[in-house]
Each structure stands twice: as C-alpha cells, then as structure tokens.
Amino acid sequence: MNLGIFGGTFDPVHRGHLTLARHAFEQCGLDQLLFVPAGYPPHRPPPHANAAHRQAMLELAIADEPQFAISPCELTRRGPTHSIDTLAHLAARHPTATLFLLLGGDAWRSFRRWHRWADILDIAQLVVLDRAATAGHEHHADKKPVAGPPAQFLSGPPLAISATAIRAALKDPAKNADQLRAWLPAAVLDYIAAHRLYR
Ligand code: ATP
C-alpha cells in the first residue's frame, strides 16, 4: 500500500494544500493520504486558530474525498512534535506501507534543517510540488537557490496561495471576497465566517 503523509499547520487549509494532495495522489499512485495537522510546530510561532478549529476546517475540506483522511496524532501529543516522530509512529502503524511525505517547495528547500532529516529519508520518499511566491513565502531571487534532498517532483503549475496571505485578506473579508473564494473551499470560508476566525 502506498500511503501519503501531509503535515502542516493548516491554519487554515487552502486550495494550495488540496492541489498538492491531489497531484501526489494521482502521480504517486497513492492508496490513501493522511493530513497531519501540527499541534505546536517546533520551528515556527504557534498557529492562530486552535487545533479543534484547524481540524474541523480540514474535515470540511476533504469531506468529498474518501481517499483523504486526517491523523490527529500530532494534536494529541503534548508539546512540539518532530516529523521524524510522526513518521516513525505512522510507519509502525502501517508496517507494510510505502510512505510518501508531501512537501511544498519551500519546505523541501529547508528540509536539511529539520530534526534528524536523514532518518526521515530512510522512512519516507519525498514528494514535492513547487509553490509560487506569496506573502509569507517570498522567493529571494538574489539568493543562490538551495536544493533539498532527492525527491519526486510533481507536475502542475505552482499556486500562489499561502495561509499567511489568507489570514491577511481575512482582516477585510468583504473587500477580498473574490480572492478568498478562489483560495479557500467554500465550506472552509463559511466556517471561518461563522466562527469569526482570523479577525
Ligand atoms: P503559512 O503561510 O502560515 O506558512 P502555508 O500556506 O505555508 O502556511 P502550511 O500548513 O505551513 O501552509 O504548509 C504545509 C505544507 O504545504 C508545506 O509543506 C507547504 O510547503 C505546503 N504548501 C502550502 N501552500 C502550498 C502551495 N500553494 N503550493 C504547494 N505547497 C504548498
């Protein structure tokens, strides 16, 4: 069985995440794909929305896609969780599965800074979709491009969508309505409005 694993803060989940997940599913021949929302990511500030809201938005986003599921394993663990621990846990739970770890281009480029990154490569194959520059994820054309470790690159146009840009647009949802509809699944946008998130 080919099992995809897609970690992130998903604060909130957006169409960039879903596009990466669908491309990986098709192009890697996955049988199932697990979204793994982070509890307290070790390398970045705490998420804006709490874990219950981020999980609820993920559930709405994948409601029509039975091949996608959510693993709450990082949410139920106390304190920061490193990807190596999550992958080891999932590898033990799915001993016959081949694991594929999904990454955006930015995460792939900084991968060698991850805790025990070389051990991750022993457990999972990396699958990467590049992303276009957006707020929070600018490309620095003047800097030498950094390459990450060996990976399978997905084909598909890079999407200029980031949760950072979405949270900024949600400061004025009426003015940015068109853009928000393009970036977020409708059910997620409705949920954000109903719960007054990211104000
Ligand atoms: P933020 O702007 O808050 O950093 P984000 O949009 O990068 O959020 P994360 O939850 O941090 O979302 O990302 C989880 C994973 O999804 C990372 O590997 C990231 O590179 C990838 N990803 C996010 N957006 C895109 C996109 N538009 N295209 C490809 N990969 C993406």
- pLDDT tens across 36-87, in order? 999 877 777 889 999 999 999 999 999 999 999 999 999 988 777 899 999 9
pLDDT at 192 over 60: yes
Confidence (pLDDT) at 142: 47
Amino acid (1-letter code) at residue 11: D
* Residue 94, CB-side half-sphere exposure with 13 Å CA sphere: 21
Q: How confident is the model at residue 97 (pLDDT cuts 50, 70, 90)?
A: very high
Measure 83 CA to ligand 1 centroid, in angstroms: 15
Residue 43's SS3 state is: coil
Measure 130 CA to ligand 1 centroid, in angstroms: 10
CA distance linking residue 19 with residue 162, whole number of Å: 12
Is the CB–ligand 1 distance for residue 10 below 6 Å? Answer: yes
Measure 91 CA to ligand 1 centroid, in angstroms: 23
Give the pLDDT mean for 78-104: 93
Residue nearest to atom 7 of ligand 1 (CA): 162
pLDDT at 140 over 60: no
Mind listing the domains of the chain with CATH numbers?
A: 2-159 (3.40.50.620)
Confidence (pLDDT) at 145: 63
